[in-house]
Amino acid sequence: MSKLELLQQYKNDVNNLRKCANQLDFSDRELTKIFKECFRILDQEDSTSKQNATNAQKYFSTIVKIFLIFTLVSVCIYILLNVHQPTSSLVLRNVQGLIYPGLKVLRFLSVPIIKQYPSLTGLYDESCLVENPFFYVADMECWPCENVHSVMDLTGFDNHSLYQTGAPYIVKTVQKEVLLETLQKLYTENKHTFDAEANNIKSNNSSVNSLEELFDNGVKSSTHVSWRINKMSPGRLIRSLFPRPYIISEWSGQSIERYVMIDGPKASPYTLPNPECSYVIVIQGSGERTIILKPSKECGNICRTVSVILKPSYVLWYNWWYWRPISLPTENSTETSVSYVSSYC
């Protein structure tokens, strides 16, 4: 509608209101008073909305200014501390004495939060809370995987220098068979330790959300379970089933973080995790899994994909800087697979 049409409709509505008011015995004075009161309310609402909009604009402008000032000050401080050596030395010399008291105050302030959410204490043992999915090493040398055409079997080789060439390989060890029943027995004997310090499992089966449910319900043909252990006490218990392979030097330090992968014979493919240390071993306790080693994205244009069937008592060694392994079910397999993943520095 045009403005003239709207104005005419407004006049007609006002005349209709006056006629209704006359029929109800309202005087012109009373009717005028009612109109003025309505206009006053409308003006008040309009001014309130304008004031709210103005206040919101002021708050937003203030926040933007504070952010810009904070960013500018942070950049100036960063440049000053990294470029001007005397200032950097002065700040470090005076700040070092405040580190311990500051952390003490921070821990004191966090106590009420920890009491409210006790599960947060598990974060104390994490070396990395958030993994960077965009991590990329520019100009990384890819010669350890450049000429790899297959996964070598170095079983029986006495030349230990072959074990540190950088190429992936497998060896057969004296590893005893570790069945699902073996894990269940270890869990039953040390239930309190595992429930308190190593009950972190992930599964594609909605009925398996804890170790107790895992061993009570068993593993179906398509079930995959990843059991992560990152504390000393349960790690020592698991290590009793998977001792250090002979290919690993006694001078090598084993990471506390380790995984036990439990897969049904038809479990879907999945990518093995990247542990803390770069040298990774996969010990096959029972069953079989096919491991495909895909080159990392830094070496994808130079190195090629290789694969190997990991059988019981065999150990796969690789360096995760160069390889991203994928675990798949082995064709015609009928047994549950139990694999142990650990890393060494």
pLDDT per residue as tens, the chain (345 positions): 676 776 677 677 777 777 776 776 767 777 777 777 777 776 666 666 666 666 677 777 888 888 888 888 888 877 777 777 777 777 777 777 777 888 788 888 888 887 787 767 666 666 676 777 777 777 888 888 888 899 988 888 776 666 666 789 999 999 999 999 999 999 999 999 998 888 888 999 888 888 998 988 888 888 999 999 988 889 899 999 999 888 887 777 888 889 999 999 999 999 998 888 888 999 999 999 999 999 988 888 889 999 999 999 999 999 988 999 999 999 888 899 999 999 888
What pLDDT is recorded for position 177? 93
Could you tell me if 201 and 227 are in contact, meaning their C-beta atoms sit under 8 angstroms apart?
yes
Q: How far does CA 124 lie from the centroid of its chain?
A: 15
pTM for the model: 0.68
- Which of 154, 337, 115 is CA-nearest to residue 245? 154
CA atoms within 13 A on the CB side of 47: 6
Domain range annotation of the chain: 3-65, 143-344
Fold for domain 143-344?
Jelly Rolls (2.60.120)
Which of 155-176 are b and which e, b meaning 16 or more Cβ less than 10 Å from the residue's Cβ? eeeeeeeebeeebbbbbebebe
Could you tell me if 277 and 345 are in contact, meaning their C-beta atoms sit under 8 angstroms apart?
yes
| Helix (H) / strand (E) containing 53 | helix 28-83
Could you tell me if 187 and 211 are in contact, meaning their C-beta atoms sit under 8 angstroms apart?
yes
Q: How far does CA 194 lie from the centroid of its chain?
A: 22
| Helix (H) / strand (E) containing 233 | helix 232-239
Separation between Cα atoms, residue 224 and residue 336, nearest integer Å:
10
Token pair 């890393």 is found at 343
Look at strands 337-344 and 200-203 and give their pairing.
unpaired
| Helix (H) / strand (E) containing 145 | helix 143-146
What pLDDT is recorded for position 187? 93
